[in-house]
Amino acid sequence: MLVLTGEKVENKQVLVNKSMPTVTQTPLEGSAQPGQPQYRDVPITYKGSTDSYIEKVMISSNAEDAFLIKILLRQTRRPEIGDKFSSRHGQKGVCGLIVPQEDMPFCDSGICPDIIMNPHGYPSRMTVGKLIELLAGRPGFWTGDSTTGRPLGAARSIRKKDRDADSKSTAKSRPWVDEDLQDDTEIGTRGEEDSDWPGGEEDVPHVPYAPTRYPGDVMLRRSREFYTLMNERRSVRFISPEPVPREVIDYVIQTAGTSPSGAHTEPWTFMVVADAEVKHKIREIVEEEEEMNYRQRMGDKWVSDLRKIRTNWIKEYLDIAPYLILVFKQTHGIHSSGKKKTHYYNEISVSIACGILLAALTNVGLVTVTSTPLNCGPQLRLLLCRPTNEKLLMLLPVGFPATDATVPKLTRKNMDDIMVFM
Ligand SMILES: Cc1cc2nc3c(=O)[nH]c(=O)nc-3n(C[C@H](O)[C@H](O)[C@H](O)COP(=O)(O)O)c2cc1C
């Protein structure tokens, strides 16, 4: 459980429902493997006499799924004498006097000044920047743009595209790191990193491309038929043990591999498990973690939202389904030179590949349930001997639906609710 941005928090309220392994030491190499790690609750609480609001929450994790969570709190306070303030420009000062409105100077039309300044401040401090900030901040506030206090070109309000252009021109430009799109893309330092974005395809010849073109009526029929097919797709949790031809699975995976990917890095590994013993070990790991997720980690709201789907931590399908496909995202790749290869937007790329995989399964009459077993990644990665740059994204049990399979009676949103046309 984690507080949400915008939430109000009171004294002693839990911010992060953290649990820690009781044993944190890594076992010596060659020593007997310990059993499943035990966890104890160590909640992180808010301590403060006045309430706060959550301004920002940042979650990050490394390849071992060790999490780093940063929470920025905001409080509204009434200024008092002795409080220290600073503008973004760094013009700081301590409040020495609070003047009642009626004692403020005013002109003959009754207007009070916004700023009263000691002229000595001009030459010795960053006063110009401070004034630019005060003045440009106002239009910036109204238009929602950033403003800059540069001496030349002064308070030019810069729109996002200009900001992006600005940041691209700097040596540390990281155009793919947009606030909304941060994933686990591991970015090396300059020099350590390859230079395959955006000019990575410079050496690749460009060849003519002419995919099949359909007449209008055929297009319409095909679009309707594909929708009808995909609208039949459901997450099925009752899977038949009936064997599925291996070649079909091969083609399904190959289809998923046609997905687009950031800078064509193809940052995916599809691990297909058919071995009964390995499937059972996967089930044991998933069920143990899922039980803890349901009982401790997910919180009442999440568990109650899942009630209509009737899911719990018992995952029989992990033993029964003829195949388990574990989709790993590669947070980075390795060049033949041994250098790290950046996998831009790896999570988004692998998620698109998973979508194509689901469509390919539906196309051949196979079913699955998209599952994202929380906290199982590292254990499953070790079990399946995958390298540390691979992180489990999805676990898909695949097969024919059981003859008595049922699904929750869900409806899908209407076109009007999902499409905005302009
Ligand atoms: C990212 C993602 C994670 C999901 N995780 C689980 C899961 O852990 N267990 C599960 O039973 N279903 C899981 N689902 C399946 C959803 O519950 C299901 O897609 C949703 O209820 C809609 O039903 P439908 O797929 O039949 O249309 C997940 C779906 C998505 C897209």
The Cα–Cα gap between 233 and 236 comes to: 9
**Ligand 1 pocket: which of 227, 231, 235, 293 to mutate (most atoms <8 Å of CB)?**
235
Q: Provide the mean pLDDT of the chain.
A: 84
Tokens 């009526």 — which residue? Answer: 217
CB 54 within 8 A of CB 75: no
The Cα–Cα gap between 268 and 10 comes to: 43
Q: pTM above the 0.75 mark?
A: no
Burial of 208 by CB count in 10 Å (0-12 exposed, 13-18 middle, 19+ buried)?
exposed
- 306 Cα nearest atom in ligand 1: 17
Conformation bin of residue 144: beta by default, left when phi > 0, alpha when psi is -120 to 50: left
Indicate which residue's Cα is closest to atom 7 of ligand 1: 371
Kindly state if the Cβ of 372 falls inside 6 Å of ligand 1. yes
Indicate which residue's Cα is closest to atom 11 of ligand 1: 311
Query: Measured in angstroms, how far is the CA atom of residue 263 from the centroid of ligand 1?
Result: 29
CB 352 within 8 A of CB 259: yes
pLDDT of residue 35: 66
pLDDT of residue 186: 57
In this predicted structure, the answer to whether residue 352 has a pLDDT above a threshold of 90 is: yes
CB 363 within 8 A of CB 396: no
HEC string for 20-46: EECCCCCCCCCCCCCCCCCEEECCEEC
At residue 53, what are phi and psi to the nearest 5 degrees? -115, 145
The Cα–Cα gap between 378 and 268 comes to: 16
**Ligand 1 pocket: which of 311, 362, 372 to mutate (most atoms <8 Å of CB)?**
372
* pLDDT tens digits for range 106-150: 988 888 888 888 888 777 666 777 788 888 887 887 777 777 766
Query: What does DSSP assign to residue 295?
Result: I
Kindly state if the Cβ of 371 falls inside 6 Å of ligand 1. yes
In this predicted structure, the answer to whether residue 81 has a pLDDT above a threshold of 80 is: yes
The Cα–Cα gap between 197 and 168 comes to: 12
The angle subtended at Cα 372 by Cα 188 and Cα 43, nearest 5°, is: 80
- 373 Cα nearest atom in ligand 1: 8
Indicate which residue's Cα is closest to atom 9 of ligand 1: 371
First to last CA, the chain: 39
**Ligand 1 pocket: which of 369, 380, 394 to mutate (most atoms <8 Å of CB)?**
369
What is each CA distance from 324 to 194, 239, 298, 332, 403, in whole angstroms? 34, 11, 24, 24, 19
Dihedral (C-alpha) 379, 317, 353, 294: value to the nearest 10 degrees?
-60
HEC string for 329-394: EECEEECCCCCEEECCCHHHHHHHHHHHHHHHHHHCCCEECCECCCCCHHHHHHHCCCCCCEEEEE
Q: Which residues partner with 84 through β-bridges?
A: 94
Q: Which two tokens stand for residue 57?
A: 């929450």
CB 71 within 8 A of CB 52: no
Q: Closest Cα to residue 318, out of 395, 255, 256, 376? A: 395
Kindly state if the Cβ of 311 falls inside 6 Å of ligand 1. yes
CB 230 within 8 A of CB 293: no
Indicate which residue's Cα is closest to atom 25 of ligand 1: 235
**Ligand 1 pocket: which of 283, 370, 375 to mutate (most atoms <8 Å of CB)?**
370
Indicate which residue's Cα is closest to atom 29 of ligand 1: 370
Burial of 73 by CB count in 10 Å (0-12 exposed, 13-18 middle, 19+ buried)?
middle
Query: Measured in angstroms, how far is the CA atom of residue 388 from the centroid of ligand 1?
Result: 26
pLDDT of residue 181: 45
* pLDDT tens digits for range 290-301: 888 777 777 777
pLDDT of residue 286: 93
Kindly state if the Cβ of 309 falls inside 6 Å of ligand 1. yes
Query: Measured in angstroms, how far is the CA atom of residue 250 from the centroid of ligand 1?
Result: 24
pLDDT of residue 2: 85
* pLDDT tens digits for range 231-277: 999 999 999 999 999 999 999 999 999 999 999 999 999 999 999 99
One-letter amino acid for residue 367 of the chain: V
Strand-strand pairing, 67-74 and 52-61: antiparallel
* pLDDT tens digits for range 306-349: 777 777 788 999 999 999 999 999 999 998 888 899 999 999 99
pLDDT of residue 259: 98
The angle subtended at Cα 127 by Cα 121 and Cα 132, nearest 5°, is: 150
Kindly state if the Cβ of 235 falls inside 6 Å of ligand 1. yes
Query: Measured in angstroms, how far is the CA atom of residue 370 from the centroid of ligand 1?
Result: 5
Indicate which residue's Cα is closest to atom 13 of ligand 1: 371
Kindly state if the Cβ of 298 falls inside 6 Å of ligand 1. no
